[in-house]
Amino acid sequence: MSRALQKKFVKTAMVAITVLILMLLGAINLSNILMVRTNIDRRLQMIADNEGNPPPPGKPFPSDRWMEHPKNEYDSFLSSNFYVVRFDRDGKVHAVDVSRTSTVTEQEAVDLATQIFQEGREKGSAGKYRFQKRDLSEIGGSLLVFLDCSDDMVSYFRVLLLSAGVGMVCWGLMLLFVILLSRRAIRPVAENMERQKQFITNAGHEIKTPLAIIQSNTEAMELYQGENKWSRNIKDQTMRLDGLMKNMLWLARMEEGSWEVRAINVACSELLEEVLQEFIPLIENKRIQVQTEISEGVNLHADLGQIRQLISILFDNAVKYTDEDGKIQITLRREGKQIRLSVSNSCKQLPEVPEEKLFDRFYRADAARTQKNGGYGIGLSMAKAIVTAHHGRIFATYYRPDSICFTVCF
């Protein structure tokens, strides 16, 4: 149990740390992209405003105002690779300037600019270039400026890879720290749970002897004085308490993992039919309608005794809480590699708690916690322990207004 609790703690902590690291890295990379993109757009706007000509020296570049010695527009112009294509009033190319780049020929520049001009796009991206259109109102026509952003794209990926590498290293270090500290973190909880289980085990063994004495003394008293309602009540409650303690001890051993699972090939279809026959008298007594949909040849590698007990618990729970003239539906089928068993029953009123609460120890659907239906209130807890020991999953589902279904998946 301590190891299982430690694994759950490590898993939960690492999920939280992973989400935090991803959010942090996402924020860093998004901020970097926005800042670089803003800087590109400002350079592109500056080049377009100057129609591809050098701006006057000395004017600070807007994005560098926070620096002690900001880069001016002229220096930013000189460090930019771009080309300019001019169009006349009729939309024909009449001038091309590729002197600021060596990776594009005049013909390539004309072809790309013409395509974008005909599409009517004012601003956007084309491969490694960002472009912007500017109308020349004084002389007529327009121009398209194409800015080479390959260095900025390299910057994107450099920051992305660097942050991803740092994030992975930090994640690994945090995993190591969490594993080293997890035992100390869960120690109080594990010790408390261990004390509770030890108490149940010790109390169970201590109560066995008084129960046996009470039972034998009651039977001896009946030999001398005859059976009466008080002696019958004593025997009934003694047997009930004895059964409760046995189930509690069994559940404690299951949760500790000390109960050995002896797995064999279990014919679930035949076993389901066999256990159902044991409940026929109770079903007929309450005039319950039973519908079955049991696929043939469904086998499971599991502990036969525990699977039989699991089925008995589900059937017993369904019969107890189904009203007279109610309905129970049992389904067993294989879905791919998964075996799915469902037991649903009608009821007068659905429990007013979340479905997972039904598997809590000693939970009863009736608020008064009466014993009119028998049982100890730990049947579904035992069912969950059996399913968990077989690496399966059990859950309940409410179907409004008056039906509940318990599903087991292996």
Place of tokens 């220096």: 75
| Spatial CB neighbours of 318, under 8 Å, sequence gap ≥ 6 | 328, 343, 344, 345, 406
Confidence of residue 400 (pLDDT cuts 50, 70, 90): confident
**Can you read off the two tokens belonging to residue 406?**
């318990």
The residue from 156, 176, 202 where one domain ends is 156
Q: Is residue 348 part of a domain?
A: yes
Could you tell me the CATH number of the domain that includes residue 393?
3.30.565.10
Considering the domain architecture, whether residues 131 and 270 belong to the same structural domain is answered as no
**Can you read off the two tokens belonging to residue 20?**
């935090």
Q: Is residue 142 part of a domain?
A: yes
Q: What is the CA radius of gyration of the chain?
A: 38
The residue from 98, 128, 156 where one domain ends is 156
CA torsion 332-337-338-339 (nearest 10°) is: 30
Q: How far apart are CA 131 and CA 113, in angstroms?
A: 9
φ, ψ for residue 38 (rounded to 5)?
-65, -40
More confident residue, 397 or 236: 397
To the question of pTM greater than 0.85 for the whole model, the response is no
φ, ψ for residue 285 (rounded to 5)?
-65, -35
pLDDT at 131: 92
The residue from 156, 188, 212 where one domain ends is 156
More confident residue, 217 or 19: 19
Q: Is residue 208 part of a domain?
A: no
Q: Is residue 290 part of a domain?
A: yes
Closest by Cα among 251, 40, 269 to 150 = 40
Q: Is residue 118 part of a domain?
A: yes
Q: Cβ distance 145 to 52 under 8 Å?
A: yes
3 state DSSP class of 46 = helix
pLDDT at 89: 83
pLDDT at 367: 45
pLDDT at 370: 45
What's the total number of domains in the chain?
A: 2
Structural domain of 300: 263-409
Considering the domain architecture, whether residues 13 and 147 belong to the same structural domain is answered as yes
Mean pLDDT for 284-296 is 86
Q: Is residue 144 part of a domain?
A: yes
Considering the domain architecture, whether residues 273 and 398 belong to the same structural domain is answered as yes
| Spatial CB neighbours of 409, under 8 Å, sequence gap ≥ 6 | 338, 339, 340, 341, 392, 393, 394
Q: How far apart are CA 183 and CA 50, in angstroms?
A: 67
| Per-residue pLDDT tens over the stretch 36-66 | 888 888 888 888 888 888 877 665 655 545 5
pLDDT at 253: 65
Please check the confidence at residue 22 and state whether its pLDDT lies above 90. yes
Please check the confidence at residue 362 and state whether its pLDDT lies above 80. no
Share of the chain above pLDDT 70, in %: 82
Q: How far apart are CA 165 and CA 92, in angstroms?
A: 50
Considering the domain architecture, whether residues 286 and 403 belong to the same structural domain is answered as yes
| Per-residue pLDDT tens over the stretch 109-146 | 999 999 998 888 888 888 888 999 988 876 678 889 99
Considering the domain architecture, whether residues 149 and 274 belong to the same structural domain is answered as no
Q: Is residue 251 part of a domain?
A: no
Q: Is residue 170 part of a domain?
A: no
* CA angle at 110 for the pair 95 and 154, rounded to the nearest 5°: 110
